[in-house]
Structure 1
Amino acid sequence: MKTAGIFFSLFNALVFSPFSPLGLTKDAVDSVELSAPEEVTATLGGSATVSCKYDLRLKYNTKYWCKGLVYYLCKIVVKTPRNRPNVRSLIADHKEEGVFTVTMTQLTERDESMYWCVIARSGIDIYKRVQLFISHTAMTPSTTTESNSLLTATEETRHIWPICFPFHVCCSWWAHLRWILLFGMLACVASTHIAVWRMTAAGSV
C-alpha cells in the first residue's frame, strides 16, 4: 500500500508539473485574467504588434514581454514602466482599456521564437504564450494581431506540453528528454513495487 501511495504521488507530480510532458501549463489556469493571440506572422524586415488583454484588476501591475521556448527560462525583452532602452521593441500599457501592446520592428529571422505576455504579481506571475513566425513572403504593410475576447480556461486546457512546433523546432531534444524522464521514473516506481512485493512474499513463507 505504501508503494502504491508513492506511485500516485509521483503520478500527480508528473501530471501537474509545469515541466511535465503531460502537465497543464500555468497560463491555462489564468486564461480568464489574461488573453493573447496564439500565433503572429510578420514579414522579414517589417513589424509586428501584439495585444495582450487583461482583467482591469491588474491594471497597476507590471507587464512585460519575454522571449524563450520555456516560460521559466525566458528572457525579458521589454517591460513597464520602461526601465531600459530597446531600439526595436516598445511596450505600452493602456490601463483604462485593460490591454498592453508590444511592437517589434525591423524583424529578423532570429526574432522568430516563442514569446510570453506576462503580468507580474505576488506569488506566481500570469502569462500567455505567443508564437511569432517570420515570413519571407510579402504581406500587408503592417501586421497587427489582437485577441478580441478573453479565452476561457476550457479552451486553453487543450494546449498541453510538449508542443510540436512547426518544422525546425518539431520534436526537439527537450520533448524527447521529458518523455525519457517520465518513463524512467515510472520504471523506478514499478521496480520498487516489485522488490517490496517479493520481500513481503519471502517473509510470509
Structure 2
Amino acid sequence: MTRKRRKPSLDVRYFCFIFVLFSHTMKTARIFVSLFNALVLSLLLLPEHNVTSAQLSAPDEVTGPLSGSVTISCQYDLKFQENTKYWCKGPIYDFCKIVVKTPRNRPNSRSSIVDTGAGVFTVTMTLLTESDEDTYWCVIARGRRNVHKGVKLFISKTVTIPSSTTESNLLLKVAELERDWWAILRWILFFIMLGCLASTHIAVWWIKAARSM
C-alpha cells in the first residue's frame, strides 16, 4: 500500500516565500548601501585631492642613474613655511617609512632634505642603488591629515662615475700639470741667470781690456 506524500500547507509555503523575498531584498539593500557609501567617499575625497594638489606639488616620476644622484623639488603653499616636511618611502602612504625630515636638515647616510622657506623643499639622494627604485612621498605635517604627494623613482642601469671621483681626478691632473710647468720654468730661469752671469763677466772683461789700452 503506497502512502501519499502530503503537500506543504499554505502557511509553510507562504513563510518560505516571505523568507526568500526578504533575503533577496537584504542583499539588494546591502549592494545599494555599498554603492552609496562608495559614491559619498568619492565625493569627499575628490575635493581633498584637489586641495592637496594646490597645496603641494612634485613631479610624478623622476629617473636617477645607478651609483649617481637625483634631486627632487617639492613645491608647497607658503602657509606651510613653519611645518615639518619629510621624505617618505613606500608604495602606500599610510605605511611609508620616513627617510629624512626637517627642520634640522638631518641627513641619513645617502639622503638629505633642505627647506628653503620660500615654498620649496628639495630632497637629494646619492649613490643610488637598484633597491632605491620605489614610490616616495613629499609630505607636509599638519594637525589634521598630512598633505602628501607621491613621486615614483626609477633607476637607470647606466653606471655613472660619482662627481667626487671626477673632481679628484681633475685636481690630480691640474697638480701634475702645475708640476710639469714648474719644472720647465725652473730650467728657463736657470738659463736666464746663467746668461746674465755670462753677460756680466763679458762686460767686466771688456771694461778691463779697455782700461789697459
Once the two structures are TM-superposed, the CA of residue 15 in structure 1 deviates from its matched residue by: 5.5
| Residue deviations 1:81-140 (CA, integer Å, cap 9, x gap) | 247550100000011x20000000000000000000000001100000000000012679
Cα deviation, residue 69, structure 1: 0.4
Secondary structure at the counterpart of residue 53 of structure 2: coil
In the alignment, the residues of structure 1 paired with residue 64 and residue 153 of structure 2 have an alpha-carbon distance, to the nearest angstrom, of: 8
Q: Specify the alignment match of 2:88 in structure 1.
A: 66
Q: Quick one: percent identity of the two aligned structures?
A: 55
5+ residue gaps, structure 2, are: 1-24, 164-213
Residue 136 of structure 1 aligns with which residue? 157
The answer (yes or no) to whether the contact 1:63–1:120 under 8 Å persists in 2 is yes
Question: Partners in 2 of 1:92 and 1:60 — Cα distance?
Answer: 13
Structure 2 equivalent of residue 39 of structure 1 = 61
1:57 has 2:59 as partner:
no
Deviations for 1:154-204, whole angstroms, at most 9, x for unmatched residues?
A: xxxxxxxxxxxxxxxxxxxxxxxxxxxxxxxxxxxxxxxxxxxxxxxxxxx
1:1-40 mapped onto 2 (5 Å cutoff): 6-14=30-38, 27-40=49-62
Deviation digits for residues 12-69 of structure 1 (CA, Å, limit 9, x no counterpart): 4445769xxxx86965541000000000001000000000000000110000000000
SS across alignment from 2:137: strand
Count residues in correspondence: 137
- In structure 1, give the amino acid aligned to 2:84: T
Bigger Cα Rg: 2
Q: Distance in 2 between matches of 1:131 and 1:84?
A: 23
The aligned amino acid for 2:96 is C
Change (3 A) 1:45 1:51: same
What is the alpha-carbon distance in structure 2 between the residues aligned to residue 99 and residue 76 of structure 1?
19
Q: Could you say if the C-alpha distance between residues 44 and 65 of structure 1 is closer, same or farther in structure 2, counting changes exceeding 3 Å? A: same
Q: Name the structure 1 match of 2:145.
A: 124
Distance 1:140 1:31 in 2: 36
Distance 1:37 1:10 in 2: 34
Alignment RMSD, CA only?
3.1
The answer to which structure has the higher helix fraction is 2
Is the CA contact 1:15–1:24 (under 8 Å) kept in the aligned structure 2? Answer: no
CA contact (8 A) 1:62 1:120 kept: yes
Aligned equivalents of 2:92, 2:113: Cα separation in 1? 21
Q: Closer, same or farther in 2 for the Cα pair 1:102/1:15, shift >3 Å?
A: farther
The residue number in structure 1 matching 2:119 is: 98
Structure number with greater CO (CA < 8 Å, separation at least 6) is: 1
Evaluate the alpha carbon distance shift between residue 129 and residue 27 of structure 1 in structure 2; reply closer, same or farther with a 3 A threshold. Answer: farther
- Give the counterpart of 2:99 among 77, 87, 96: 77
* Distance in 2 of aligned mates of 1:60 and 1:130: 23
TM-score by length of 1: 0.58
Give TM-score, length-normalised by structure 2.
0.56
Q: Within the alignment, does 1:114 sit opposite 2:135 as a pair?
A: yes
**Cα separation, 2, equivalents of 1:48 and 1:10:** 44
